[in-house]
Chains A and B, each alone.
Chain A
Protein backbone atom coordinates (compact mmCIF):
# COMPACT_ATOMS: atom_id res chain seq x y z
CA UNK A 1 0.00 0.00 0.00
CA UNK A 2 2.84 2.37 0.94
CA UNK A 3 4.56 1.66 -2.36
CA UNK A 4 1.35 2.29 -4.31
CA UNK A 5 1.18 5.70 -2.63
CA UNK A 6 4.82 6.42 -3.45
CA UNK A 7 4.37 5.39 -7.10
CA UNK A 8 1.30 7.67 -7.28
CA UNK A 9 3.37 10.56 -5.88
CA UNK A 10 6.07 9.78 -8.42
CA UNK A 11 3.47 9.83 -11.20
CA UNK A 12 2.03 13.11 -9.87
CA UNK A 13 5.52 14.63 -9.96
CA UNK A 14 5.86 13.44 -13.56
CA UNK A 15 2.65 15.25 -14.60
CA UNK A 16 3.71 18.35 -12.65
CA UNK A 17 7.08 18.59 -14.38
CA UNK A 18 6.49 17.16 -17.84
CA UNK A 19 5.21 20.40 -19.40
CA UNK A 20 7.62 22.71 -17.57
CA UNK A 21 10.72 23.92 -19.43
CA UNK A 22 13.55 23.23 -19.97
CA UNK A 23 12.74 20.33 -22.29
CA UNK A 24 15.31 17.62 -22.84
CA UNK A 25 14.54 16.89 -26.52
CA UNK A 26 17.92 15.40 -27.34
CA UNK A 27 17.71 12.89 -24.52
CA UNK A 28 14.07 12.17 -25.45
CA UNK A 29 15.18 11.30 -28.99
CA UNK A 30 17.98 9.11 -27.68
CA UNK A 31 15.59 7.27 -25.40
CA UNK A 32 13.00 6.90 -28.17
CA UNK A 33 15.69 5.32 -30.34
CA UNK A 34 16.79 3.07 -27.47
CA UNK A 35 13.28 2.00 -26.47
CA UNK A 36 11.63 1.99 -29.90
CA UNK A 37 14.20 1.15 -32.55
CA UNK A 38 16.27 -1.23 -30.45
CA UNK A 39 13.16 -3.18 -29.41
CA UNK A 40 12.09 -3.71 -33.04
CA UNK A 41 13.94 -7.01 -33.70
CA UNK A 42 12.65 -8.70 -30.54
CA UNK A 43 9.11 -7.38 -30.90
CA UNK A 44 9.08 -8.21 -34.63
CA UNK A 45 10.32 -11.76 -34.13
CA UNK A 46 7.86 -12.41 -31.30
CA UNK A 47 5.00 -10.95 -33.34
CA UNK A 48 5.88 -13.12 -36.34
CA UNK A 49 6.01 -16.32 -34.25
CA UNK A 50 2.80 -15.28 -32.49
CA UNK A 51 0.98 -15.02 -35.85
CA UNK A 52 2.37 -18.36 -37.05
CA UNK A 53 1.51 -20.26 -33.87
CA UNK A 54 -1.94 -18.75 -33.43
CA UNK A 55 -2.92 -19.70 -36.99
CA UNK A 56 -1.34 -23.16 -36.82
CA UNK A 57 -3.12 -23.91 -33.52
CA UNK A 58 -6.53 -22.57 -34.55
CA UNK A 59 -6.67 -23.83 -38.12
CA UNK A 60 -7.43 -27.55 -37.47
CA UNK A 61 -10.46 -26.70 -35.31
CA UNK A 62 -11.85 -24.23 -37.86
CA UNK A 63 -11.28 -26.75 -40.68
CA UNK A 64 -13.19 -29.37 -38.65
CA UNK A 65 -16.23 -27.05 -38.56
CA UNK A 66 -15.76 -25.93 -42.17
CA UNK A 67 -15.09 -22.39 -40.98
CA UNK A 68 -11.54 -21.86 -42.22
CA UNK A 69 -12.70 -18.86 -44.27
CA UNK A 70 -13.16 -17.07 -40.94
CA UNK A 71 -9.51 -17.55 -40.05
CA UNK A 72 -8.16 -14.13 -41.27
CA UNK A 73 -10.83 -12.08 -39.56
CA UNK A 74 -10.66 -14.13 -36.36
CA UNK A 75 -6.86 -13.97 -36.12
CA UNK A 76 -6.92 -10.29 -37.11
CA UNK A 77 -9.34 -9.34 -34.35
CA UNK A 78 -7.54 -11.47 -31.75
CA UNK A 79 -4.14 -9.98 -32.59
CA UNK A 80 -5.19 -6.37 -32.96
CA UNK A 81 -7.57 -6.20 -30.02
CA UNK A 82 -5.69 -8.21 -27.46
CA UNK A 83 -2.69 -10.39 -28.22
CA UNK A 84 -0.58 -7.80 -30.06
CA UNK A 85 -0.72 -5.06 -27.41
CA UNK A 86 -0.40 -7.38 -24.41
CA UNK A 87 2.46 -9.52 -25.75
CA UNK A 88 4.35 -6.42 -26.96
CA UNK A 89 3.85 -4.76 -23.57
CA UNK A 90 5.09 -7.85 -21.73
CA UNK A 91 8.18 -8.07 -23.95
CA UNK A 92 8.88 -4.38 -23.38
CA UNK A 93 8.30 -4.79 -19.65
CA UNK A 94 11.13 -7.33 -19.72
CA UNK A 95 13.47 -5.54 -22.09
CA UNK A 96 12.79 -1.86 -21.44
CA UNK A 97 11.54 -1.94 -17.82
CA UNK A 98 14.49 -3.97 -16.57
CA UNK A 99 16.96 -1.89 -18.57
CA UNK A 100 15.62 1.41 -17.20
CA UNK A 101 15.47 0.02 -13.64
CA UNK A 102 19.05 -1.28 -13.81
CA UNK A 103 20.45 1.84 -15.51
CA UNK A 104 18.90 4.33 -13.11
CA UNK A 105 19.61 2.06 -10.13
CA UNK A 106 23.25 1.88 -11.10
CA UNK A 107 23.37 5.66 -11.61
CA UNK A 108 21.84 6.11 -8.18
CA UNK A 109 24.31 3.91 -6.30
CA UNK A 110 27.33 5.36 -8.12
CA UNK A 111 26.17 8.92 -7.30
CA UNK A 112 25.71 9.85 -10.98
CA UNK A 113 22.22 11.17 -10.20
CA UNK A 114 23.67 13.34 -7.42
CA UNK A 115 26.39 14.54 -9.82
CA UNK A 116 23.68 15.54 -12.30
CA UNK A 117 21.82 17.49 -9.62
CA UNK A 118 24.97 19.26 -8.42
CA UNK A 119 25.71 20.32 -11.99
CA UNK A 120 22.39 22.18 -12.06
CA UNK A 121 20.44 19.68 -14.17
CA UNK A 122 17.17 18.38 -12.78
CA UNK A 123 17.77 14.60 -12.90
CA UNK A 124 14.04 13.90 -12.72
CA UNK A 125 13.51 15.84 -15.94
CA UNK A 126 16.59 14.49 -17.68
CA UNK A 127 16.29 10.84 -16.67
CA UNK A 128 12.68 10.13 -15.70
CA UNK A 129 10.54 12.36 -17.90
CA UNK A 130 12.46 11.53 -21.08
CA UNK A 131 12.24 7.78 -20.47
CA UNK A 132 8.57 7.77 -19.49
CA UNK A 133 7.57 9.95 -22.46
CA UNK A 134 9.70 7.86 -24.85
CA UNK A 135 8.15 4.60 -23.58
CA UNK A 136 4.64 6.08 -23.80
CA UNK A 137 5.17 7.19 -27.40
CA UNK A 138 7.09 4.17 -28.64
CA UNK A 139 4.86 1.40 -27.29
CA UNK A 140 1.92 2.11 -29.65
CA UNK A 141 4.31 2.17 -32.63
CA UNK A 142 5.81 -1.15 -31.56
CA UNK A 143 2.32 -2.60 -31.13
CA UNK A 144 1.34 -1.52 -34.67
CA UNK A 145 4.52 -3.09 -35.99
CA UNK A 146 3.97 -6.31 -33.98
CA UNK A 147 0.36 -6.53 -35.23
CA UNK A 148 1.47 -6.13 -38.85
CA UNK A 149 4.22 -8.76 -38.57
CA UNK A 150 1.92 -11.18 -36.69
CA UNK A 151 -0.72 -10.86 -39.43
CA UNK A 152 1.97 -11.48 -42.04
CA UNK A 153 3.04 -14.64 -40.14
CA UNK A 154 -0.57 -15.77 -40.06
CA UNK A 155 -0.93 -15.07 -43.79
CA UNK A 156 2.14 -17.24 -44.54
CA UNK A 157 0.54 -20.22 -42.78
CA UNK A 158 -2.78 -19.63 -44.56
CA UNK A 159 -0.96 -19.29 -47.88
CA UNK A 160 0.98 -22.52 -47.38
CA UNK A 161 -1.87 -24.61 -45.95
CA UNK A 162 -4.89 -23.12 -47.69
CA UNK A 163 -3.40 -21.42 -50.77
CA UNK A 164 -4.97 -18.10 -49.73
CA UNK A 165 -3.65 -15.09 -51.63
CA UNK A 166 -2.19 -12.00 -49.95
CA UNK A 167 -5.03 -9.77 -51.22
CA UNK A 168 -7.75 -12.18 -50.14
CA UNK A 169 -6.23 -12.73 -46.70
CA UNK A 170 -5.87 -9.05 -45.87
CA UNK A 171 -9.22 -8.05 -47.38
CA UNK A 172 -10.76 -10.65 -45.03
CA UNK A 173 -8.81 -9.23 -42.10
CA UNK A 174 -9.89 -5.64 -42.70
CA UNK A 175 -13.48 -6.47 -43.65
CA UNK A 176 -14.32 -7.34 -40.06
CA UNK A 177 -12.09 -4.80 -38.37
CA UNK A 178 -13.46 -1.42 -37.40
CA UNK A 179 -12.29 1.61 -35.42
CA UNK A 180 -13.84 0.11 -32.30
CA UNK A 181 -11.19 -2.62 -32.48
CA UNK A 182 -8.22 -0.46 -33.39
CA UNK A 183 -8.69 2.69 -31.29
CA UNK A 184 -8.99 0.99 -27.83
CA UNK A 185 -6.03 -1.22 -28.72
CA UNK A 186 -3.79 1.71 -29.59
CA UNK A 187 -5.08 3.76 -26.66
CA UNK A 188 -4.27 1.09 -24.12
CA UNK A 189 -0.78 0.75 -25.64
CA UNK A 190 -0.06 4.33 -24.54
CA UNK A 191 -0.99 3.36 -20.97
CA UNK A 192 1.15 0.21 -21.16
CA UNK A 193 4.11 2.30 -22.32
CA UNK A 194 3.53 4.84 -19.57
CA UNK A 195 3.41 2.07 -16.93
CA UNK A 196 6.61 0.44 -18.25
CA UNK A 197 8.52 3.74 -18.23
CA UNK A 198 7.15 4.95 -14.92
CA UNK A 199 7.71 1.75 -12.91
CA UNK A 200 11.18 1.19 -14.39
CA UNK A 201 12.18 4.75 -13.51
CA UNK A 202 10.60 4.60 -10.04
CA UNK A 203 12.36 1.35 -9.14
CA UNK A 204 15.73 2.58 -10.42
CA UNK A 205 15.48 6.13 -9.07
CA UNK A 206 14.82 4.92 -5.53
CA UNK A 207 17.01 1.83 -5.51
CA UNK A 208 19.08 1.26 -2.38
CA UNK A 209 21.65 -1.14 -0.94
CA UNK A 210 24.36 -0.93 -3.62
CA UNK A 211 24.62 -3.50 -6.39
CA UNK A 212 22.07 -5.76 -4.69
CA UNK A 213 19.61 -2.89 -4.97
CA UNK A 214 20.34 -2.51 -8.70
CA UNK A 215 19.46 -6.16 -9.35
CA UNK A 216 16.37 -5.84 -7.23
CA UNK A 217 15.31 -2.66 -9.05
CA UNK A 218 15.59 -4.39 -12.45
CA UNK A 219 13.77 -7.48 -11.23
CA UNK A 220 10.89 -5.77 -9.43
CA UNK A 221 10.45 -3.34 -12.33
CA UNK A 222 9.68 -6.30 -14.62
CA UNK A 223 7.41 -8.07 -12.11
CA UNK A 224 5.39 -5.00 -11.13
CA UNK A 225 5.07 -3.77 -14.73
CA UNK A 226 3.93 -7.19 -15.99
CA UNK A 227 1.20 -7.37 -13.36
CA UNK A 228 0.24 -3.78 -14.09
CA UNK A 229 -0.07 -4.55 -17.82
CA UNK A 230 -2.70 -7.22 -17.07
CA UNK A 231 -4.57 -4.93 -14.66
CA UNK A 232 -4.56 -2.07 -17.19
CA UNK A 233 -5.66 -4.46 -19.92
CA UNK A 234 -8.61 -5.60 -17.79
CA UNK A 235 -9.61 -1.99 -17.12
CA UNK A 236 -9.22 -1.13 -20.82
CA UNK A 237 -11.50 -4.02 -21.83
CA UNK A 238 -14.13 -2.91 -19.29
CA UNK A 239 -14.00 0.69 -20.53
CA UNK A 240 -14.10 -0.39 -24.20
CA UNK A 241 -17.16 -2.56 -23.47
CA UNK A 242 -18.97 0.45 -22.00
CA UNK A 243 -18.32 2.35 -25.26
CA UNK A 244 -19.48 -0.60 -27.38
CA UNK A 245 -22.77 -0.67 -25.48
CA UNK A 246 -23.43 3.05 -25.97
Chain B
Protein backbone atom coordinates (compact mmCIF):
# COMPACT_ATOMS: atom_id res chain seq x y z
CA UNK B 1 0.00 0.00 0.00
CA UNK B 2 2.79 2.39 1.02
CA UNK B 3 4.62 1.64 -2.22
CA UNK B 4 1.55 2.41 -4.33
CA UNK B 5 0.72 5.59 -2.41
CA UNK B 6 4.13 7.15 -2.89
CA UNK B 7 5.23 5.56 -6.15
CA UNK B 8 4.59 8.77 -8.10
CA UNK B 9 6.88 10.67 -5.71
CA UNK B 10 9.73 8.21 -6.25
CA UNK B 11 9.28 8.27 -10.03
CA UNK B 12 9.17 12.06 -10.16
CA UNK B 13 12.15 12.43 -7.84
CA UNK B 14 14.19 10.16 -10.09
CA UNK B 15 13.27 12.24 -13.12
CA UNK B 16 14.16 15.57 -11.50
CA UNK B 17 17.12 17.54 -12.76
CA UNK B 18 18.38 18.64 -9.36
CA UNK B 19 20.87 21.09 -10.74
CA UNK B 20 18.24 23.41 -12.22
CA UNK B 21 16.34 25.71 -9.90
CA UNK B 22 13.47 27.66 -11.45
CA UNK B 23 12.68 29.59 -8.26
CA UNK B 24 15.14 30.60 -5.56
CA UNK B 25 13.94 32.53 -2.53
CA UNK B 26 16.59 33.77 -0.11
CA UNK B 27 16.00 35.37 3.28
CA UNK B 28 12.61 36.71 2.25
CA UNK B 29 10.97 38.93 4.88
CA UNK B 30 7.56 40.55 4.68
CA UNK B 31 5.61 42.31 7.42
CA UNK B 32 2.26 44.06 7.56
CA UNK B 33 2.70 46.55 10.40
CA UNK B 34 3.67 44.55 13.47
CA UNK B 35 2.61 41.28 11.87
CA UNK B 36 5.84 39.64 10.65
CA UNK B 37 4.40 37.20 8.12
CA UNK B 38 7.64 35.93 6.57
CA UNK B 39 11.01 36.10 8.29
CA UNK B 40 14.16 35.12 6.42
CA UNK B 41 12.24 32.51 4.46
CA UNK B 42 14.24 30.31 2.06
CA UNK B 43 12.98 28.04 -0.69
CA UNK B 44 14.14 26.42 -3.91
CA UNK B 45 11.87 24.99 -6.60
CA UNK B 46 13.60 22.71 -9.08
CA UNK B 47 12.71 22.19 -12.68
CA UNK B 48 9.89 19.69 -13.10
CA UNK B 49 9.25 19.50 -9.38
CA UNK B 50 5.96 19.75 -7.49
CA UNK B 51 6.81 21.54 -4.26
CA UNK B 52 4.08 21.80 -1.63
CA UNK B 53 4.24 24.52 1.00
CA UNK B 54 2.25 23.42 4.03
CA UNK B 55 1.16 25.80 6.72
CA UNK B 56 -1.74 26.67 8.95
CA UNK B 57 -4.36 29.21 7.81
CA UNK B 58 -2.94 32.70 8.12
CA UNK B 59 0.65 31.47 8.25
CA UNK B 60 1.63 33.52 5.18
CA UNK B 61 1.51 30.88 2.44
CA UNK B 62 -0.51 33.03 0.05
CA UNK B 63 1.64 36.06 0.86
CA UNK B 64 4.68 33.97 -0.08
CA UNK B 65 3.49 33.13 -3.60
CA UNK B 66 2.15 36.63 -4.16
CA UNK B 67 5.60 37.97 -3.26
CA UNK B 68 7.21 35.49 -5.67
CA UNK B 69 5.05 36.62 -8.61
CA UNK B 70 5.50 40.29 -7.71
CA UNK B 71 1.91 40.97 -6.64
CA UNK B 72 3.12 42.06 -3.20
CA UNK B 73 6.32 43.99 -2.60
CA UNK B 74 8.85 42.54 -0.18
CA UNK B 75 10.69 44.12 2.76
CA UNK B 76 13.99 42.34 2.20
CA UNK B 77 15.54 39.25 0.62
CA UNK B 78 16.00 37.87 -2.88
CA UNK B 79 13.51 36.26 -5.21
CA UNK B 80 14.82 34.73 -8.39
CA UNK B 81 12.34 33.31 -10.90
CA UNK B 82 13.69 31.71 -14.09
CA UNK B 83 16.92 33.62 -13.59
CA UNK B 84 15.25 37.02 -13.09
CA UNK B 85 15.40 39.00 -9.88
CA UNK B 86 11.71 39.80 -9.27
CA UNK B 87 12.01 42.85 -6.95
CA UNK B 88 14.39 44.55 -9.40
CA UNK B 89 12.29 44.05 -12.54
CA UNK B 90 10.62 46.89 -14.45
CA UNK B 91 6.87 46.41 -15.02
CA UNK B 92 7.38 45.48 -18.68
CA UNK B 93 10.00 42.85 -17.88
CA UNK B 94 7.79 41.49 -15.13
CA UNK B 95 4.85 41.23 -17.56
CA UNK B 96 7.07 39.36 -20.04
CA UNK B 97 8.20 36.97 -17.33
CA UNK B 98 4.58 36.38 -16.36
CA UNK B 99 4.01 34.74 -19.74
CA UNK B 100 6.05 31.86 -18.30
CA UNK B 101 3.94 31.68 -15.14
CA UNK B 102 0.49 30.26 -14.49
CA UNK B 103 -1.44 31.04 -11.33
CA UNK B 104 -4.45 29.18 -9.95
CA UNK B 105 -6.14 31.40 -7.37
CA UNK B 106 -7.84 30.12 -4.26
CA UNK B 107 -11.30 31.24 -5.38
CA UNK B 108 -10.54 30.53 -9.08
CA UNK B 109 -10.72 34.31 -9.84
CA UNK B 110 -12.51 33.83 -13.16
CA UNK B 111 -13.65 37.14 -14.67
CA UNK B 112 -17.39 37.29 -13.93
CA UNK B 113 -18.25 39.46 -16.90
CA UNK B 114 -16.59 37.20 -19.46
CA UNK B 115 -17.46 33.80 -20.90
CA UNK B 116 -15.16 30.83 -20.31
CA UNK B 117 -13.68 31.38 -23.76
CA UNK B 118 -13.00 35.08 -23.08
CA UNK B 119 -11.48 34.17 -19.72
CA UNK B 120 -9.02 31.86 -21.45
CA UNK B 121 -8.32 34.30 -24.25
CA UNK B 122 -7.50 37.07 -21.79
CA UNK B 123 -3.86 36.03 -21.05
CA UNK B 124 -3.33 35.56 -24.81
CA UNK B 125 -4.04 39.27 -25.48
CA UNK B 126 -0.59 40.30 -24.25
CA UNK B 127 1.40 37.14 -24.84
CA UNK B 128 0.04 35.71 -28.07
CA UNK B 129 3.38 36.51 -29.77
CA UNK B 130 4.86 33.68 -27.74
CA UNK B 131 3.12 31.24 -30.12
CA UNK B 132 4.17 32.92 -33.37
CA UNK B 133 2.39 35.10 -35.93
CA UNK B 134 -0.42 32.90 -37.20
CA UNK B 135 -1.64 31.40 -33.97
CA UNK B 136 -5.30 30.45 -33.71
CA UNK B 137 -6.36 31.57 -30.25
CA UNK B 138 -9.59 29.54 -30.45
CA UNK B 139 -7.51 26.43 -31.04
CA UNK B 140 -5.38 27.23 -27.96
CA UNK B 141 -8.55 27.73 -25.90
CA UNK B 142 -9.92 24.41 -27.13
CA UNK B 143 -6.67 22.61 -26.30
CA UNK B 144 -6.51 24.10 -22.81
CA UNK B 145 -10.14 23.22 -22.09
CA UNK B 146 -9.58 19.74 -23.50
CA UNK B 147 -6.68 19.28 -21.03
CA UNK B 148 -9.07 19.80 -18.14
CA UNK B 149 -11.96 17.92 -19.78
CA UNK B 150 -14.30 20.89 -20.14
CA UNK B 151 -14.51 21.70 -23.86
CA UNK B 152 -18.28 21.98 -23.71
CA UNK B 153 -18.19 24.94 -21.31
CA UNK B 154 -16.60 27.33 -23.82
CA UNK B 155 -19.61 29.66 -24.11
CA UNK B 156 -20.81 29.46 -20.52
CA UNK B 157 -20.45 32.25 -17.97
CA UNK B 158 -18.51 31.50 -14.74
CA UNK B 159 -21.76 31.83 -12.75
CA UNK B 160 -23.11 28.80 -14.63
CA UNK B 161 -20.23 26.53 -13.50
CA UNK B 162 -19.92 24.43 -10.35
CA UNK B 163 -17.03 24.98 -7.90
CA UNK B 164 -15.03 22.08 -9.37
CA UNK B 165 -15.64 23.24 -12.94
CA UNK B 166 -14.51 26.76 -12.02
CA UNK B 167 -11.25 25.33 -10.67
CA UNK B 168 -10.73 23.34 -13.86
CA UNK B 169 -11.43 26.36 -16.07
CA UNK B 170 -9.09 28.46 -13.91
CA UNK B 171 -6.49 25.72 -14.33
CA UNK B 172 -7.03 25.79 -18.10
CA UNK B 173 -6.52 29.57 -18.00
CA UNK B 174 -3.30 29.08 -16.02
CA UNK B 175 -2.14 26.55 -18.62
CA UNK B 176 -3.05 28.36 -21.80
CA UNK B 177 0.29 30.16 -22.13
CA UNK B 178 2.08 26.84 -21.63
CA UNK B 179 3.92 28.19 -18.58
CA UNK B 180 7.12 26.79 -17.12
CA UNK B 181 5.92 27.31 -13.55
CA UNK B 182 2.42 27.03 -12.10
CA UNK B 183 1.46 28.44 -8.72
CA UNK B 184 -1.46 26.81 -6.99
CA UNK B 185 -3.02 28.75 -4.11
CA UNK B 186 -5.14 26.31 -2.09
CA UNK B 187 -6.24 24.36 -5.18
CA UNK B 188 -8.74 22.20 -3.29
CA UNK B 189 -10.30 24.77 -0.96
CA UNK B 190 -14.09 24.84 -1.06
CA UNK B 191 -14.35 21.53 -2.92
CA UNK B 192 -15.87 18.26 -1.79
CA UNK B 193 -13.33 15.47 -1.11
CA UNK B 194 -14.02 13.62 -4.37
CA UNK B 195 -13.70 16.72 -6.57
CA UNK B 196 -10.66 17.82 -4.55
CA UNK B 197 -8.98 14.49 -5.30
CA UNK B 198 -9.87 14.79 -9.00
CA UNK B 199 -8.25 18.24 -9.11
CA UNK B 200 -5.10 16.87 -7.42
CA UNK B 201 -4.75 14.03 -9.90
CA UNK B 202 -5.39 16.50 -12.72
CA UNK B 203 -2.54 18.63 -11.38
CA UNK B 204 -0.24 15.61 -11.46
CA UNK B 205 -1.38 14.67 -14.95
CA UNK B 206 -0.76 18.19 -16.22
CA UNK B 207 2.68 18.29 -14.61
CA UNK B 208 3.62 15.16 -16.50
CA UNK B 209 1.99 16.30 -19.76
CA UNK B 210 3.40 19.82 -19.87
CA UNK B 211 6.59 19.26 -17.81
CA UNK B 212 5.84 22.22 -15.57
CA UNK B 213 7.29 22.98 -12.16
CA UNK B 214 4.65 23.71 -9.54
CA UNK B 215 4.56 25.53 -6.25
CA UNK B 216 1.49 24.36 -4.37
CA UNK B 217 0.20 26.17 -1.32
CA UNK B 218 -2.19 24.11 0.75
CA UNK B 219 -3.24 22.88 4.15
CA UNK B 220 -5.01 19.88 2.62
CA UNK B 221 -2.83 16.89 3.58
CA UNK B 222 -4.43 14.59 1.01
CA UNK B 223 -3.63 17.11 -1.70
CA UNK B 224 -0.04 17.39 -0.40
CA UNK B 225 0.32 13.59 -0.38
CA UNK B 226 -0.98 13.19 -3.93
CA UNK B 227 0.79 16.08 -5.60
CA UNK B 228 4.08 16.63 -3.80
CA UNK B 229 7.59 15.60 -4.79
CA UNK B 230 8.81 17.60 -1.84
CA UNK B 231 7.13 19.40 1.06
CA UNK B 232 8.17 22.57 2.89
CA UNK B 233 6.54 23.34 6.23
CA UNK B 234 6.00 27.02 6.95
CA UNK B 235 5.82 27.86 10.66
CA UNK B 236 6.21 31.34 12.18
CA UNK B 237 7.17 32.79 8.82
CA UNK B 238 10.12 30.43 8.38
CA UNK B 239 10.97 27.31 6.44
CA UNK B 240 10.63 25.04 9.48
CA UNK B 241 11.24 21.72 7.76
CA UNK B 242 11.43 20.15 4.34
CA UNK B 243 11.63 16.72 2.82
CA UNK B 244 9.45 14.30 0.97
CA UNK B 245 6.00 13.55 2.32
CA UNK B 246 7.03 10.24 3.93
CA UNK B 247 10.00 11.68 5.78
CA UNK B 248 7.88 14.43 7.30
CA UNK B 249 5.00 12.08 8.03
CA UNK B 250 7.35 9.93 10.12
CA UNK B 251 8.96 12.88 11.90
CA UNK B 252 8.98 12.88 15.70
CA UNK B 253 8.90 16.69 15.89
CA UNK B 254 5.55 17.65 17.50
CA UNK B 255 5.20 20.76 15.28
CA UNK B 256 5.51 18.61 12.16
CA UNK B 257 3.44 15.74 13.55
CA UNK B 258 0.60 18.19 14.17
CA UNK B 259 0.12 18.48 10.40
CA UNK B 260 -0.13 14.73 9.85
CA UNK B 261 -2.56 13.82 12.64
- Residues on A facing B (Cβ under 8 Å): 22, 103, 106-107, 110-112, 114-122
Contact = CB atoms under 8 A, between A and B. Distances in A.
A118 B101 contact: yes
B176 to A, nearest CB: 9
B194 interface: no
B172 to A, nearest CB: 13
A110 B95 contact: no
12 contacts: A107-B111, A107-B112, A111-B106, A112-B109, A112-B111, A115-B110, A116-B111, A117-B71, A118-B71, A119-B127, A121-B125, A122-B91
Nearest to A115: B109
Given A111-B107, A120-B95, 4 more contacts: A118-B98, A118-B103, A120-B99, A120-B123
Nearest to B101: A118
A114 B109 contact: yes
Contacts of A22: 126
A115 B98 contact: no
B257 interface: no
Contact of B71 (A112, A114, A121): A114
Contacts of B122: 116, 119, 121
A119 B105 contact: no
A85 B111 CA distance: 34
Interface of B: 66, 69, 71, 91, 95-96, 98-99, 101, 103, 105-107, 109-113, 122-123, 125-127, 173
Nearest to A34: B113
B93 to A, nearest CB: 11
Contacts of B96: 120
Nearest to A26: B125
Contacts of A112: 109-112
A38 to B, nearest CB: 14
B161 to A, nearest CB: 14
Given A120-B96, A121-B126, A115 B112 contact: no
Contacts of A118: 69, 71, 98, 101, 103
Nearest to A106: B112
A161 B109 CA distance: 59
Contacts of B111: 107, 112, 115-116
A21 B91 CA distance: 13
Given A114-B66, A114-B71, A115-B103, A120 B127 contact: yes
Contacts of B99: 120
A5 to B, nearest CB: 20
A101 to B, nearest CB: 15
Contacts of A107: 111-112
Contacts of A117: 71
B129 to A, nearest CB: 11
A111 B98 contact: no
Contacts of A115: 103, 105, 109-111
A3 to B, nearest CB: 19
Contacts of A111: 105-107, 109
Of the candidates A22, A111, A122, the one having the most CB atoms from chain B within 10 angstroms of its own CB is A111
A121 B241 CA distance: 36
A112 B103 CA distance: 12
Contacts of B103: 115, 118
Which 9 residue pairs across A and B have the least CB separation, nearest first? A119-B123, A115-B109, A120-B95, A111-B109, A120-B126, A118-B103, A120-B98, A111-B105, A112-B109
Contacts of B105: 111, 114-115
Contacts of B112: 106-107, 110, 112
B164 to A, nearest CB: 17
Nearest to B91: A122
A115 B91 CA distance: 16
Given A110-B109, A112-B112, A119 B71 contact: no
A120 B99 CA distance: 7
A119 B91 CA distance: 13
B92 to A, nearest CB: 10
A103 B111 CA distance: 11
A110 B113 CA distance: 13
A119 to B, nearest CB: 4
A18 to B, nearest CB: 16
Nearest to A24: B125
Contacts of A116: 111, 122
Nearest to B125: A121
Contacts of B173: 119
